[in-house]
Homo-oligomer: A and B are copies of this chain.
Amino acid sequence: MYAIAVKDSHLHWCEHNDLPSPGGSEILIDVAWAGMNRADVLQRDGGYPPPKGASEILGLEVSGVVASIGPAVERFRVGDQVCALLAGGGYAEQVLVNEAQALRIPQGMTLRDAAALPEVFATAWLNLFMEADLREGERVLLHAGASGVGTAAIQLCRAFNNPCFVTVGSQDKIEACQSLGADGGWNRHDGSFVEAVQNWGGVDVVLDPVAGEYIEWNQQVLNLDGRIILIGFMGGRETSVDLARMLMKRQRLIGSTLRSRSPAGKGSVMDALYAHVWPLLENGRIKPLIDRTFSIQEADEAMRYLEENTSTGKVLMGVSGA
């Protein structure tokens, strides 16, 4: 099969060994579309090796058609249209994945749109509703609100009655986020968000891919029993924490990552999406937000585009052209 290889920090579409037949609970998917994520950029640059046993090929989510199934597969048949959350291997014509990590695409949705779902909605759901245990009416602060995860999180907050405030990198992005349902926004180039969020009324949960000095600022805008969910550290690996505030306000700092979870761990997130989010996608209350599509042959250009930080929503690559 063909797949993406990394050579001198560039992405090349070239021949690759065929995959083995699916064993046990695995399914083999003919990839239609592959979603691109910031984690792929890190992996290209050598900073985010795949978990043990996972494919060395980039790519954490795809949509496509089931081409064959392992002997223990229960949920899928050959020909089913699915999307899947991967530990790697998505930038390729085919990918093998445990059936627990795949879902039938929502009714009425195209394979293209469905490729934009797994990573962002699994990340947003896992962190807001499982890790932070977000309750109805609780208030949320989303950093990088216009990212794929951010735009998914805004829509989930709106659908589940959680007011949310975003921080982003431009006035245009504030408006894009507000059109999706954000109640307020702040341009990070205007300095600390602390006063703006305090004036908005404070928050119960922060979804934070930035970390660094944001941690202390997050602590300052957090209500009693507030939770900071740390999903990245673009702002620095080390930070200072105010332990007295953490104790007296009963705050929680929760480190979270999706990729290294077991198939069963990823599966429990996918099951929750199927139960709670798929119906909202099927009735149109939530939409995957797609910024731009490329062909897989243009993967290198697509990744440079993602790195510019100007996108709002997902960057996708067409593989089979379906």
Contacts and interface: CB of A to CB of B under 8 A. Distances in A.
Interface of A: 211-212, 215, 230-233, 236-257, 260
Nearest to A219: B255
A250 B256 contact: yes
A246 B127 CA distance: 14
A58 B48 CA distance: 53
A26 to B, nearest CB: 24
A235 B244 CA distance: 11
Contacts of A245: 255
Q: How many copies does the complex hold?
A: 2
A248 B211 CA distance: 14
Contact of A238 (B211, B232, B242, B254): B242
Contact of A230 (B243, B254, B256, B257): B243
Nearest to A212: B243
Do most interface residues of chain A lie in helix, strand or loop, or is the interface mixed?
A: mixed
A256 B260 contact: no
Given A238-B241, A242-B238, A255 B260 contact: no
A236 B243 contact: yes
A140 to B, nearest CB: 19
Contacts of A241: 215, 238-241, 253
Nearest to A258: B250
The 3 A-B pairs with the shortest beta carbon distances in the complex, nearest first, are A246-B255, A247-B255, A253-B253
A248 B255 contact: yes
A247 B230 CA distance: 7
A8 to B, nearest CB: 26
9 contacts: A230-B247, A231-B247, A233-B247, A239-B240, A245-B255, A247-B255, A247-B257, A248-B257, A248-B260
A207 to B, nearest CB: 13
A260 B225 CA distance: 12
Residue of A240, A248, A249 with highest tally of chain B CB at under 10 A: A248
Nearest to A232: B247
A254 B257 contact: no
Contacts of A243: 211-212, 215, 230, 233, 236-239, 255
Contacts of A236: 243
A204 to B, nearest CB: 14
Contacts of A249: 255
